[in-house]
Amino acid sequence: MSNSNINLIDSFQEFKEFKNIDRPTVITVLEEVFRSMIRRRFGTDENVDVIVNPDNGDLEIWRTRVVVEDEFSEDDDLEIELAEARKHDEDLEVGDDFIEQITLESFGRRAILAARQTLVSKVLELEKDEVFKKYKDREGELVIGEVYQIWKKEILVLDEDGNELILPKSEQIPADYFKKGDGIRAVVHKVDMMNNNPKIIISRTAPAFLQRLFELEVPEIFDGLITIKKIVREPGERAKVAVESYDDRIDPVGACVGMKGSRIHGIVRELRNENIDVINFTTNHSLYIARALSPARISSIKIDEENKTAAVYLKSDQVSLAIGRGGHNIKLAGKLTGYEIDVYRENDEFDEDVDIEEFSDEIESWVIDELKRVGLDSAKSVLSLSEEELVRRTDLEEDTIRDIVRILQAEFE
């Protein structure tokens, strides 16, 4: 066997190792490449059989021509004269089929190398198409991979088949930290073809990631006894999950949390200690909003169905809980329920209090904005907290807090 033949057979062995490509497809590709070679050499492949064994790299090419009278051949690619045929088989007669095996060596080294290159190119294209289709069908599903390379704006992850997955910085939880070789879990977020290469974006911040984790940890969700109605997240900070049970005997919140938090603890760790509020879904809008503002306790709610707004009244010590650190709690409650929620202190109209905006001539606007951000929108709400607590809740300096307290106290003296 010549070296050119060996090189081509080596190519076959490569194709055995290609991922995601089934055997019939490999055979079809190989056969088409060789039929193309045959057409270039003989003008037609109609009378040629190509037999490929992708398991061991064996290839057989058989050409059939009809035996005709000497000097009566009209097409040497389809016919062979009797005298020529009898050089190979003395028993042949006019009208018989003359079958001969075509060796790879007869095509020439250049043709064989070109075929090998075409073969590799076609199979690589098939491989890319198969990866694209595979992951396009898996959008929203959980995927497990290994961190292969870490860049400033993204991480390259390899799945179990060696396919490349991209985890952008924007799809990472802020507290995520990975090093090469670490295992990683995420969901398939987006799959595109970029310059004929599949680009698979995975995410750890998508609500679907939290849903898949719940499905893993809570058998009742996996079995369909409990359904997740909606998930909203501020990745790494807080998430709210509305659940509903189709079985009256099952407490959906209790099932999701587990005994002493056993089920939800694993999810919280995976999400870098993201606070997760699991609430019972209801079609009662007032009750749903009240549950969504957990852990705050609501005194009363006024709902405007037409404008999709809700005025929520709470005791003073519950306002900051309803708003949450950085406003995350009220923001997520609004997203979960679909209502724009405003919080008010209970009985504001009867209390001698002053809106924090009234002090804009003495307190800078950015300071007022910071106080309002953490739910402190009146003078008494600020004065109800110690200076240490105010420093802890806001991003303000101690001296600034002392000045604010002095200004507000003067209002009530």
- Any idea what the CATH number is for the domain that residue 160 is in? 2.40.50.140
Q: Do residue 183 and residue 283 come from a single domain?
A: no
Position 198 in a domain = yes
What six digits make up the tokens of 50? 């190509």
On the 0-12 / 13-18 / 19+ scale of CB atoms within 10 A, 202 is buried
278 plus 328 within the same structural domain: yes
Is 212 among the domain residues?
no
Please give the Cα distance from 255 to 245 (Å, whole number): 10
For the residues of 62-117, what is the DSSP string, one character each? EEEEEEE-TT--S-TTTEEEHHHHHTT-TT--TT-EEEEEEPGGGG-HHHHHHHHH
171-to-232, 367, 372 alpha-carbon distances in Å = 15, 32, 30
Specify whether 163 is located in the same domain as 199.
yes
Among 92, 127, 162, which residue terminates a domain?
Answer: 127
How confident is the model at residue 5, as a pLDDT?
43
For position 18, what pLDDT does the model report?
55
Contacts of 174 (CB under 8 A, 6+ apart): 235, 236, 272
pLDDT for the residue numbered 3 = 42
Q: Do 283 and 165 have their domain in common?
A: no
Backbone angles phi, psi at 73, to 5 degrees: -75, 125
Residue type, 167: L
Let me know if residue 398 belongs to a domain.
yes
Same domain, 166 and 227: no
In a domain, 31, yes or no: yes
Q: Say what the pLDDT of residue 8 is.
A: 47
Task: Give the pLDDT of residue 55.
Answer: 66
Does residue 20 contact residue 126 with C-beta atoms inside 8 Å? no
Q: What H or E segment, with its residue span, contains residue 168?
A: strand 164-168
Pair 200, 266 in one domain: no
- Rounded Cα–Cα distance for residues 382 and 388 (Å): 12
pLDDT tens series, the chain, 413 aa: 344 343 444 555 555 455 556 667 777 887 888 888 888 888 888 888 888 776 666 778 899 999 898 888 888 888 888 888 888 888 888 889 999 888 877 888 888 788 788 877 887 888 888 899 999 999 999 999 999 999 999 999 999 989 999 999 999 999 999 999 999 999 999 999 998 899 999 999 999 999 999 999 999 999 999 999 999 999 999 999 999 998 889 999 999 999 989 999 999 999 999 999 999 999 999 999 999 998 899 989 999 999 999 999 988 778 888 988 888 999 999 999 999 999 888 764 445 678 888 888 889 888 888 888 888 888 888 888 888 888 888 888 899 999 999 998 888 76
On whether both 245 and 339 belong to a single domain, the answer is yes
Same-domain status, 175 and 235: no
Q: Is the peptide bond before 295 cis (omega within 30 degrees of 0)?
A: yes
Please report whether residue 291 resides in a domain: yes
Domain membership of residue 43 as a residue range: 6-127
Q: Are residues 145 and 244 in the same domain?
A: no
> Does the global pTM surpass 0.85?
no
Mark which of 156, 175, 204 sits at the end of a domain.
204
Determine the pLDDT at residue 4. 39
In a domain, 289, yes or no: yes
The DSSP call for residue 226 is: E
Task: Please name which of 282, 291, 287, 202 lies closest in space to residue 240, comparing C-alpha atoms.
Answer: 291
Q: What is the pLDDT of residues 139-192, one digit of tens each?
A: 999 999 999 999 999 999 999 989 999 999 999 999 999 999 999 999 999 999
Determine the pLDDT at residue 139.
Answer: 95
Residues 234 and 254 in one domain: yes
Question: Is 349 domain-assigned?
Answer: no
**pLDDT one-digit tens code per residue, 6-50:** 344 455 555 545 555 666 777 788 788 888 888 888 888 888 888
Same domain, 335 and 235: yes
Looking at residue 230, which CATH number applies to its domain? 3.30.300.20
Number of domains comprising the chain: 4
How much is the pLDDT for 350? 43
Give the CATH number, domain containing residue 114. Answer: 3.30.1480.10
Place of tokens 């604010």: 404
Pair 39, 112 in one domain: yes
Cα(174)–Cα(172) distance, integer angstroms: 6
- Asked whether residue 224 is domain-assigned, the answer is yes
Q: Which of 343, 366, 391 is the last residue of a domain?
A: 343
